[in-house]
Amino acid sequence: MLNKNSASSQSLPRVHSFFNMIPSILQDDLAVTILADRDNMFSIKSHRSHGEDLIVTPFAQILASLRSVRNNLLSLTNVPASNKSRRPTQSSSAARSTNPAGVPLSQGEEAYTRLATDTIEELDWCLDQLETIQTHRSVSDMASLKFKRMLNKELSHFSESSRSGNQISEYICSTFLDKQQEFDLPSLRVDENPEHAAATAAGGAVGAGGQSTGQQYGNRSRSPRGPPMSQISGVKRPLSHTNSFTGERLPTFGVETPKENELGTLLGELDTWGIQIFSIGEFSVNRPLTCVAYTIFQSRELLTSLMIPPKTFLNFMTTLEDHYVKDNPFHNSLHAADVTQSTNVLLNTPALEGVFTPLEVGGALFAACIHDVDHPGLTNQFLVNSSSELALMYNDESVLENHHLAVAFKLLQNQGCDIFCNMQKKQRQTLRKMVIDIVLSTDMSKHMSLLADLKTMVETKKVAGSGVLLLDNYTDRIQVLENLVHCADLSNPTKPLPLYKRWVALLMEEFFLQGDKERESGMDISPMCDRHNATIEKSQVGFIDYIVHPLWETWADLVHPDAQDILDTLEENRDYYQSMIPPSPPPSGVDENPQEDRIRFQVTLEESDQENLAELEEGDEDVDAASSTTTGTTATSALGGAGGGGGGGGGGGGMAPRTGGSQNQQHHGGM
């Protein structure tokens, strides 16, 4: 259990993340200053030795402001706080008062008048926010919408810096932003020149999960008729696997291999980040998922606690692995094994010790195992745009993720493969719900919603002055598990550089194969899928800056300081790819500036003020993120943790061990 208040603030030397779009200059005469322009960003500066505590999610901003109002009222009215009153901690209310010393003030004093005015402004701002909150929108939706606008604003500027910047911006927007119709995407312009449009691409590509383009193709091509929709495509008939264990002795690591000793040595490092997963694939005779999952379930004693017969487990795992498409360069069983092993390591983080039950741990690992089964090596949007049977079956919504779940649960019905056969009905229903929630969250278009949920949770607990995340309900618990597996799915950039480079090459080859198919079919080529017009190095830097680092930085804030080494590796890998970006001339009309290639969006506050004013005049009820209070100050953006924009943030979020019934069947709908 880790107490946030006792942890010191640590940060990476990076300055190009996504959550730091705030002024860096605060009033020096106050130990704590609440910025007036909360519509754009809310920052609280505690005592200098503790650095800045950034609050960026709307709900946490409102809570923080209301706590400041309460503290100010105590100072203005000189009413002593009763024992039954909320007792603010230094990290929350006490740290937010504009009268931090708590000195009683007398009416008529200048300080009294100033504090009263500030308090009214605080209260007015809170009321404005509460009055414009749509009742049908959850607080996490508010944060998600805000983050999407922040990212869109950055990408709008970045896309104008170069032709490759436009392609990368389209890739990120089309892959990681859902419901794009809610937002203006001014940077994603379709070129009027057909030849140029084909070169710059207007489709979509995926990260590790398979969502893609925002532009619909003019003519949706028809795909060949598939199997009847009453059947689950991709499930082999008859259901069988190539390894059948008929004897009494099961293989030590779940697979028959002449390299058992070498395999055993590598599997002994399953609790280590950055294991040699490619060697495991080689030594396991191309059955990495089976041996990794079997070894993890055995070492965690999950086969015993979940009453899973070992032989049944191996029957299912080999059948499952047979249903991963071996011809896919990236989305194959090796990727599934890598995500499963990464999930295992993240579950071992000290901050999570004793938090999750064996059923929850088993559910998360099972979800990681199945999360890409029968992946066709194509993106969700490709399937939608080509009117595929899968897209029709799942109504264009998380097509691949729904398919992975359907195939996996169908395989459990194969004779001798039902690994959950000994569970009670309620346990089985709970596990199925968890697995569905987790796998659906691997749809990369849900990335911003996931990040907003996690960020809102962490900041709300922090503002409330709680040093421990209790996770005492299903919604909070599944939210952490969803983000954990999502982190594992986006963990390639955090691995040692040789592994990362190899994964990049495989993913790009899969992208290029889709691009080849699109070219042959006369379709627009999706961003990053044209092998003749790819900007691999720059795309990786943008991918890290805008997607991977924000996610991992928020996770690091949750489990601080356990993920610091991972963040350090991520930063080193980012710097490597930054150094590999070939120099290119600036686009016409853009002054050459060596800082342009750092994929770091910088906006002067005067520009931001004008943008915010225009948005307010349009009656926009949502909050954009841009700094605006210090004239001439440059705000650098970063979608980072709530601890100053660096790696791990200012104090991690410890979590209390599970103490009672959290396996209720309520729906996961945010906070």
HEC states along 422-473?
Answer: CCCHHHHHHHHHHHHHHHHCCCHHHHHHHHHHHHHHHHHHHHCCCCCECCCC
Cα–chain center distance at 577: 21
- 576 occurs within a structural domain: yes
Where residue 466 falls among pLDDT bands split at 50, 70, 90? low
Whether 187 shows a pLDDT value over 50: the answer reads no
Q: How far apart are CA 534 and CA 153, in angstroms?
A: 23
- Both 144 and 276 in one domain: the answer is no
Assess whether 629 and 653 both reside in one domain.
yes
Mean pLDDT of 309-317: 98
Q: Are residues 245 and 103 part of one domain?
A: no
Query: 1-57, pLDDT tens digit by residue?
Result: 343 333 333 333 343 455 554 333 233 332 233 333 333 333 333 322 333 467 777
The answer to whether position 536 is within a domain reads yes
Number of domains in the chain: 2
* 424 and 555 co-located in one domain: no
What pLDDT was estimated at residue 79? Answer: 56
CATH label of the domain that carries residue 300: 1.10.1300.10
Confidence band, pLDDT 50/70/90 cuts, at residue 541: very high
Residue 257 inside a domain? The answer is yes
Pick the catalytic residue from 241, 323, 331, 447: 331
Q: Indicate whether 492 and 622 sit together in one domain.
A: yes
Within a domain: 378: no
Q: Quick one: pLDDT at residue 318?
A: 97
Res. 660: pLDDT tops 60: no
Whether 416 has a pLDDT exceeding 90, the answer reads yes
Does position 582 have pLDDT exceeding 90, yes or no? no
Q: What is the pLDDT, as a whole number, of residue 80?
A: 60
> Is 90 exceeded by the pLDDT of residue 469?
no
| Same domain? 453 vs 492 | yes
Q: Residues 117-131: what's their mean pLDDT?
A: 75
The dihedrals phi and psi of 43, each to the nearest 5 degrees, come to: -130, 140
Q: Which helix (H) or strand (E) holds 602?
A: strand 602-604
Tens of pLDDT, residue by residue over 71-87, are: 777 777 765 655 444 44
| Residue 136 domain flag | yes
* pLDDT for position 417: 98
Check whether residue 623 and residue 659 sit in a common domain.
yes
Q: Are residues 202 and 287 in the same domain?
A: no
Question: Would residue 381 count as lying in a domain?
Answer: no
On whether both 181 and 192 belong to a single domain, the answer is yes
Known binding residues: 331-335, 371-372, 489, 540
Q: Which of 462-476, 568-582, 587-601, 618-632 has the lowest mean pLDDT?
A: 618-632
Shared-domain flag, residues 131 and 203: yes
Contact present, 219 and 233 (Cβ < 8 Å): no
With a cut of 80, say whether residue 514 has pLDDT above it.
Answer: yes
Question: 523 and 610, same structural domain?
Answer: yes
Of 64-73, 79-88, 124-133, where does the model show the most confidence?
Answer: 64-73
Range of lowest pLDDT (514-518, 520-524, 586-590): 586-590
Domain that holds residue 57: 1-235+448-671
pLDDT digits (tens, 9 = 90+) for 602-651: 323 334 444 443 443 444 444 343 333 333 333 333 333 333 333 333 34
Q: Which amino acid is at 371?
A: H
State residue 88's pLDDT score.
42
Q: Give the model's pLDDT for residue 144.
A: 67
For residue 49, report the phi and psi dihedrals to the nearest 5 degrees. Answer: -70, -15
Split at pLDDT 50, 70, 90, the class of 659 is very low
At residue 1, the 3 state secondary structure works out as coil
Give yes or no: 331 in active site. yes
pLDDT 10s digits, 229-285? 457 777 775 554 545 555 568 999 999 999 999 999 999 999 999 999 999 999 999
Rounded to the nearest angstrom, the gap between the alpha carbon of residue 573 and the centroid of all alpha carbons in its chain is: 18
Domain stop point among 389, 418, 442? 442
Residue 42 pLDDT: 32
**Residue where a domain terminates, one of 442, 475, 502:** 442
Q: What is the 3-state secondary structure (H, E, C) of 607-637?
A: HHHHHHHHHHHCCCCCCCCCCCCCCCCEEEC
| Selection from 380, 312, 302 nearest residue 340 by Cα | 302
Whole-number pLDDT of residue 155: 66
Q: Look at residue 390 and tell me if it is in a domain.
A: no
C-alpha 503/C-alpha 635 separation (Å) is 34
Task: Please check the confidence at residue 482 and state whether its pLDDT lies above 80.
Answer: yes
pLDDT top residue among 535 and 322: 322
Q: Is residue 382 part of a domain?
A: no
Q: Are residues 532 and 487 in the same domain?
A: yes
Which of 355 and 135 is assigned the larger pLDDT?
A: 355
